[in-house]
Amino acid sequence: MVVDALLQFDAAEGRTGDLRVMCATVTASYSGSFGLFDSLAGPILDDVTDLAPVRSAYETLAAERNAPDIGTQALTAALMKQCLILLIRRHLHRGSLSSPFFASLADTRLASAIALILEKPGAPLTLADLASAAGMSRTAFTKAFAHAFGQTPMDFVQKTRLHRAAELLAFTQLPVKVIAASVGFASRSHFSHAFRTAYNADPTAYRKRHSRNDIALPANSGRSWLDKMRNSDAD
């Protein structure tokens, strides 16, 4: 059944005392440009019942499930994100997360380079720029980056740019050529070729298939570009 936009499956048919499982899909991104969980190699498992904020959040979640009210969906989403953050924080302190992205946060040098890529995916970044941000030589930086992420720094830049472009195609009506320029491609043809290789669809076809313009953009994810480009020519 659906209650306040929350889909519920109740195998217990309303009986109490049964084990209840709450699950959700959370899309987490850094400045709207890269999925933080894209490279997880497996599930994150932990018993967090010793954390008072998690227990409190779960009790509130259960109460909202039993008696949905105005704002239940928004409150539920906020509480589940709170629990997720606390879970990730615990694993980061333990160094037990299997994602190379999160593991790299322990190395402030790589983290500085990653932050530069994610915050400015459209900037004309070079290997020298990234190595400088990390405070390393290009050779040492390339080796450390490849060990952490299994790819070269510039491959990561390309992937991040295309990931960003995919979000803009799905969440905005910006012309394709404007999106291409905003993520660092000098020409639409070069962008279209790279996008097709990565997503098995050209930008226009991808937009038709994944368009979600009825959903608000994440913070800092491109509305300023949309406002600035309203008078641009259609692609």
> Is 132 in the same domain as 166?
no
Reply yes or no on whether the pLDDT at 114 is more than 60. Answer: yes
Mark which of 53, 83, 98 sits at the end of a domain: 98
> Is 135 in the same domain as 164?
no
> Is 124 in the same domain as 161?
no
> Is 127 in the same domain as 39?
no
Residue 127 banded pLDDT, cuts 50, 70, 90: very high
Mark which of 98, 130, 165 sits at the end of a domain: 98
The 3-state DSSP class for residue 29 equals strand
- In this prediction the pTM is 0.57
> Is 22 in the same domain as 46?
yes
Residue 215 banded pLDDT, cuts 50, 70, 90: very low
> Is 62 in the same domain as 106?
no
* 5-15: pLDDT as tens digits: 555 556 666 66
Query: Which residues form the domain of 26?
Result: 2-98
> Is 220 in the same domain as 162?
yes
Cβ count near 187 (within 10 Å): 11
CA 7 to CA 24: how far, in whole Å?
Answer: 10
> Is 76 in the same domain as 142?
no
Number of folded domains that form the chain: 3
* 145-177: pLDDT as tens digits: 888 777 899 998 999 899 889 989 998 999 999
> Is 24 in the same domain as 109?
no
Going by their DSSP bridges, the two strands 6-7 and 2-3 should be labelled as antiparallel
CA 92 to CA 118: how far, in whole Å?
Answer: 20
CA 165 to CA 225: how far, in whole Å?
Answer: 13
85 contacts: CB under 8 Å, gap ≥ 6: none
Q: Which residues pair with 29 in a beta bridge?
A: 35
Residue 233 banded pLDDT, cuts 50, 70, 90: very low
| Residue 208, domain CATH | 1.10.10.60
Please check whether residue 185 lies inside any domain of the structure.
yes
- Are 32 and 164 in contact by the 8 Å Cβ rule? The answer is yes
- Residue 3 CA, chain-centre distance (Å), reads 27
> Is 75 in the same domain as 60?
yes
Closest Cα to residue 44, out of 5, 4, 102? 102
Q: How large is the average pLDDT for residues 113-132?
A: 90
> Is 22 in the same domain as 60?
yes
CA 167 to CA 178: how far, in whole Å?
Answer: 13
With residue 94 as reference, give the H or E element that holds it. helix 72-94
> Is 87 in the same domain as 106?
no
- Give the pLDDT confidence score for residue 82 in this predicted structure: 87
19 contacts: CB under 8 Å, gap ≥ 6: none
* 27-79: pLDDT as tens digits: 665 444 455 566 666 677 778 888 899 889 989 988 887 888 888 888 888 88
Closest Cα to residue 77, out of 28, 32, 125? 28
